[in-house]
Amino acid sequence: MKMDTFEELNRKGFVEEKIDPTLDLFVEIEKLKKEKNAIVLAHYYQEPDIQDIADYIGDSLGLSQEAARTDAEVIVFAGVHFMAETAKILSPEKKVLLPDLKAGCSLADSCPPHLFKKFKEKYPDHVVITYVNCTAELKALSDIVCTSTNAVQIVESLPKDTKIIFGPDKNLGAWVAKKTGRDLVLWNGACMVHEIFSREKITKLKARHPNAKFIAHPECEEAVLEMADYIGSTTGLLKYSTNSDAQEFIVATESGIIHQMEKANPTKTFIPAPPNNNCACNDCPYMKRNTLEKLYLCLKNGSPEVTVPADIIVQARKPIERMLEISAALGL
């Protein structure tokens, strides 16, 4: 077996570099952004320091729209691998950096492209809609991509009699099927963070906070979604909690979003929904692999870089662009 060279390991971000502890990383990152004509895009699930240094914070749809529109030469993607891949597919001429290449996604992992290809072959007359939380190879096997913000509208944009495969998230798929009244063929994938919430503990928490609104991401299981006052993407949850007159919210999604909820609503209280054991399982272990230190180093060194094979870029770009066109037409 061929061993990686030192340069190769460094490019992948496996070489640990010490940082001078006296450095103010917020100042250094700002300097590097200017020097390198770089932009930092961060998902709401990133740690608060990263959200505060970001040029743009958003949900999966907003982040891909921003990646398509930026004229920066370098995109530092503070999120997970599939998000950085999507940015690379939309802007292949740009350098896309991910602070930690091991920032993967349990949902993307739950749908290996070679198995999905076989699954798809069983339904040759079906249109394939894939949730953006999947690999670039899977997107290349799809007709349209969607996010949790636009999944319902993307399904509804197709004629009523269209046969549809929806993957990889079975919970989002079941919710979309219910909302649209369509019969979707679902892939059996799920996110480990959103499947951990306990209906029983949420019931007890609601009883202790009778005026709190319970809000949930559609990646949660049906039994949890049934209890929700509002279901939506991370941006949807943030908007709902800001526009609502309620003063307390129980939030069933990754806890990182609470940083923006508290910033936008300093007088309101946000309670993370409890998982079914005592772990901190509503912290996504992949999202939280990125740290301010790793972000500084990747900007300074220009690595680790996310690359996508040229043929996959060509095939995966079409379904993503289709999603962006439908979303733009609907003002999403």
Sign of CA dihedral 272, 282, 198, 186: positive
Q: Are 109 and 138 in contact (CB under 8 A)?
A: no
Considering CB under 6 A, how many residues would be counted as binding ligand SF4? 12
254 touches ligand SF4 (CB under 6 A): yes
Q: How far is the CB of 180 from ligand SF4 (least distance, A)?
A: 22
Per CB under 6 A, does 110 bind ligand 13P?
no
Residues 229 and 215: beta-carbon distance below 8 Å: yes
Q: CB of 219: closest distance to ligand 13P in angstroms?
A: 6
Residue 42, phi then psi, degrees to nearest 5: -125, 140
Residue ranges in 271-330 that form contacts with ligand 13P under rule CB under 6 A:
none
Q: Which of 46, 142, 234, 303 lies at the binding interface for ligand 13P (CB under 6 A)?
A: 234
Q: Which residue in the set 25, 107, 145, 177 belongs to the binding site for ligand SF4 (CB under 6 A)? A: 107
Structure-block tokens of residue 42: 């961060």
Least separation in angstroms between residue 196's CB and ligand SF4 is 10
Distance between CA atoms of 154 and 127, rounded to whole angstroms?
A: 12
Among 176, 165, 187, 193, smallest CA distance to 45 is for 193
Asked if 190 is part of the footprint of ligand SF4 (rule: CB under 6 A), the reply reads no
Options 110, 135, 180, 233; binder of ligand 13P; rule CB under 6 A:
233
Query: For residues 28 and 109, which CB has a smaller minimum distance to ligand 13P in the complex?
Result: 109
Distance CA 4, CA 254 (A): 35
Q: Whole-angstrom distance between the N-terminal and C-terminal Cα of the chain?
A: 48
Q: How many CB atoms lie within 10 A of CB 1?
A: 2
DSSP code string of 137-177: HHHHT-SEEE-TTTHHHHHHTS-TT--EEEESBHHHHHHHH
Of 106, 148, 241, 290, the one binding ligand SF4 by CB under 6 A:
106
Which of ligand 13P, ligand SF4, none does residue 106 bind (CB under 5 to 8 Å by kind)?
ligand SF4
Of 51, 64, 130, 147, the one binding ligand 13P (CB under 6 A) is 147
**Closest of 58, 54, 103, 61 to residue 82, by C-alpha:** 103
Does the footprint of ligand 13P cover residue 255 (CB under 6 A)?
no
Choose from ligand 13P, ligand SF4, none: what does 67 bind? Cβ within 5-8 Å by kind: none
Residues that bind ligand 13P (CB under 6 A): 59-60, 133, 147-148, 191, 217, 219, 233-234
Residues that bind ligand SF4 (CB under 6 A): 80, 105-107, 133, 191-193, 254, 284, 286-287
